[in-house]
A and B are shown apart, each in its own frame.
Chain A
Amino acid sequence: MERLIQLLIPALGETLYMSILATLFGVVFGTILGVLLKVTERGYIAPNPAAHRVLSYIVNIGRSFPFVILMIAIMPLTRVVAGTTIGTGAAVVPLSLATIPFFARVVESALGDIEYGLVEAAQSMGATNGEIIRKVLLPESVPALVLGITITFVNVVGYSAMAGVVGGGGLGDLAIRYGYHRFDQQVMLSTIVVLVVLVTTVQWTGSFVSNTLNRRRS
C-alpha cells in the first residue's frame, strides 16, 4: 500500500501540473482565437472572410495532429519555449498547443449559441465591438464556457497520458511503465481508479457550477 501511494502521489501531481497548466494556456489563448474566429465570420460584428478562413485553417491543422505526433513534431518549438524537450514542464508545451485550437472551437460554438439580437441590442446602445465582446458575448456564454473548460480539462488529462513519451511522467506513464511493462496489475488498477476519481470529480464540479449559473439565469 505504501509503495502504491509513493508511486501514485507524485504521478498524480505531475498529471495535475501538466493538465492544469495546459488547460489554463489553452483557455486563455483558445478564447482569443475562438472570439476572433466568431467575430470575423460573415455577417457577424467584424466580418473578414479572409482572416476567418486563415484562422479556421490554423485551427483545423492544429486539431488534426494526433497528439503523440504533435509532441514530437514541435520539439524545436518546445525547446525554445521550455528550454528543454524532456520532462513534465516540456510536456506542457505540446499539451497547450493541442488544447488551444480545441478550446477555440468550444468558444466559437458557445458564442454561436447567443441570440444575435442581443448583439444588435448592444449595438443600438452604441456599444463598440470590444464592449460587445467583453460585456455581452463572453459573460453571456459563461455557463457554456464552464462546461467547455470541463470537457477540455478531461481531454487534456487523456492527452497527458502520452506525456511519458517525452519523459513527462504522470499517471498514464506510471500505468505504462509499471502496469504494462512490469505486469504490475495492482499499479495498473490503482492508476485507473485515481484517473476515474479525478475525471468524475472534475466533471461533477463543472456541471454543478454551470447548472448553478444557468439556474440563476433561468
Chain B
Amino acid sequence: MIEFQRISKTYPSKDGGVAALKNVSLMVTSREIFGVIGLSGAGKSTLLRLVNGLETFDEGSLTVDGVDLKTSGKKGLRDLRQNTGMIFQHYHLLHHRNVAGNIAFPLELLGYRKPEINQRVEELLGIVDLKEKKHHYPAVLSGGQRQRVAIARALATNPKILLCDEATSSLDPITGGAILTLLEKINRECGVTILMISHQLSAVSRICHRVGVLKDGELIEQGAKEQVLGYPREAYTKLLIESSEIHGKPLVKKEVV
C-alpha cells in the first residue's frame, strides 16, 4: 500500500544540510496499522508527510497505492491526497466552520452536491459519535472531541489510507485511549490502512500490528509489534521500552509471540 524504498532526505542548512531520513525502506501493507516510534527530531514527521507529498525526498522511491510520488505530477498528487486522510496533533480544524462544516470541507473540494454532503456528514458524525455536536464550533469542543471531528473530516472522502501525526499526543491518557480505540475500529470496520507516528510507545503498542523504530533518521528496527516490543534487537529500542515501562511491567506480554 505504501512502499518506501531507500528514501533519503536532507534539509538544506548553512553547513551542508541536516539529514532527516537516511536510506529508509519500509512497506505498509493494505489494511494494517503500522506505527513508527521515535523521539522528537528522529524524522518521524518527515517520514509521514512524504506519503501525501507535504514534503519531498531527495533519493529513493516512494509508491503510495500504486502512485509513484516522483512522477505523479500535480493532478496525481491531488488525487492521491483526496484518497489519503490525515490527522494532526493539534487537530487543525477551521475556526469559521462548525463541526458539520468542517467535515463537509473535503467533500466541497471534491464538488459533491449539498444533499450528498449532508448525508455523508450524518454518517460520519455517527461513526465518530458526535451527532449532538453537529452545530457546535471547534472552540467549544474538548481536545478529544476536536480530534473526533478531525478524524471524521479525514474519512469523509472514503480514503484507503489514514495518516496520523501524533494524533493522541496532546490528549490525556483516557481521551487518547478512546481515540486509539476509534482508530482501531475504523481500521477494522472500514478497512482503512493506518500509518501512525508517535513518541508515545503506549499509543503505538496499543493498536499497531507492526512497528518501526526511527533513530536519527534511520529505521533501525521494524517488524511485528510483539517481536519488536517483546524481543527488541537494538539497544536503543530496549531503552525506549524500558523508559515506558510502569513498575517494571512490560507493555507487551512476551507470551504473545
Binding site for B on A (CB under 8 A): 115, 117-118, 120-128, 131, 135-136, 139-140, 142, 216-218
How far is A216 from B137 in the complex, measured between Cα atoms in Å?
A: 7
Contact (Cβ within 8 A) A115 B92? yes
Contact (Cβ within 8 A) B92 A118? yes
- A124-B84, A135-B105 known; A217 and B54 CB under 8 Å? no
Which of chain A's residues has its CB closest to B82's CB? A126
Task: Name the distance in Å between A182's Cβ and chain B's nearest Cβ.
Answer: 52
Contact (Cβ within 8 A) B94 A125? no
Contact (Cβ within 8 A) A127 B54? no
Q: How large is the interface on B (under 10, 10 to 19, 20 to 34, 35 or more residues)?
A: 20 to 34
- For A216, list chain B residues within 8 Å (CB): 137
> Chain A interface mostly helix, strand, loop or mixed?
helix
- For B81, list chain A residues within 8 Å (CB): 123-126
How far is A74 from B85 in the complex, measured between Cα atoms in Å?
A: 53
Contact of B78 among A120, A128, A136, A140 (CB under 8 A): A128
- For B86, list chain A residues within 8 Å (CB): 121, 124-125
The answer to whether B108 has its CB under 8 Å from any CB of chain A is yes
What are the 6 tightest A-B residue pairs by CB atom distance, in nearest-first order?
A126-B81, A121-B92, A124-B86, A126-B82, A218-B139, A125-B106
Contact (Cβ within 8 A) A135 B108? yes
How far is A121 from B93 in the complex, measured between Cα atoms in Å?
A: 8
Contact (Cβ within 8 A) A126 B139? no
Contact (Cβ within 8 A) A139 B79? no
Task: Name the distance in Å between B22's Cβ and chain A's nearest Cβ.
Answer: 24
How far is A120 from B86 in the complex, measured between Cα atoms in Å?
A: 10
Contact (Cβ within 8 A) B109 A217? no
The answer to whether B113 has its CB under 8 Å from any CB of chain A is no
Task: Name the distance in Å between B106's Cβ and chain A's nearest Cβ.
Answer: 4
Contact (Cβ within 8 A) A120 B54? yes
Which of chain A's residues has its CB closest to B138's CB? A217
The answer to whether B96 has its CB under 8 Å from any CB of chain A is yes
- For B84, list chain A residues within 8 Å (CB): 124
Knowing that A124-B86, A125-B81, A126-B79 are A-B contacts, what are 10 other residue pairs whose CB atoms are under 8 Å apart, sorted by A's residue number? A123-B54, A124-B54, A124-B81, A126-B109, A128-B78, A135-B105, A136-B94, A139-B94, A216-B137, A217-B96
Task: Name the distance in Å between A217's Cβ and chain B's nearest Cβ.
Answer: 5
Contact (Cβ within 8 A) B139 A124? no
- A123-B54, A125-B81, A217-B137 known; A118 and B105 CB under 8 Å? no
Task: Name the distance in Å between B104's Cβ and chain A's nearest Cβ.
Answer: 11
B residues 160-200 with Cβ under 8 Å of A?
Answer: 163
Most chain-B Cβ atoms within 10 A of its Cβ — which of A115, A124, A139, A218?
A124
Which of chain B's residues has its CB closest to A140's CB? B96
The answer to whether B254 has its CB under 8 Å from any CB of chain A is no
Contact of B96 among A115, A125, A142 (CB under 8 A): A142
How far is A121 from B84 in the complex, measured between Cα atoms in Å?
A: 12
Task: Name the distance in Å between A32's Cβ and chain B's nearest Cβ.
Answer: 21
Q: List 15 A-B contacts (CB under 8 A).
A: A117-B90, A117-B92, A118-B94, A124-B85, A125-B81, A125-B86, A125-B157, A126-B81, A135-B105, A135-B109, A139-B94, A140-B95, A142-B96, A217-B138, A217-B139
How far is A142 from B92 in the complex, measured between Cα atoms in Å?
A: 17
- For A122, list chain B residues within 8 Å (CB): 105
- For A128, list chain B residues within 8 Å (CB): 78
The answer to whether B52 has its CB under 8 Å from any CB of chain A is yes
Task: Name the distance in Å between A142's Cβ and chain B's nearest Cβ.
Answer: 7
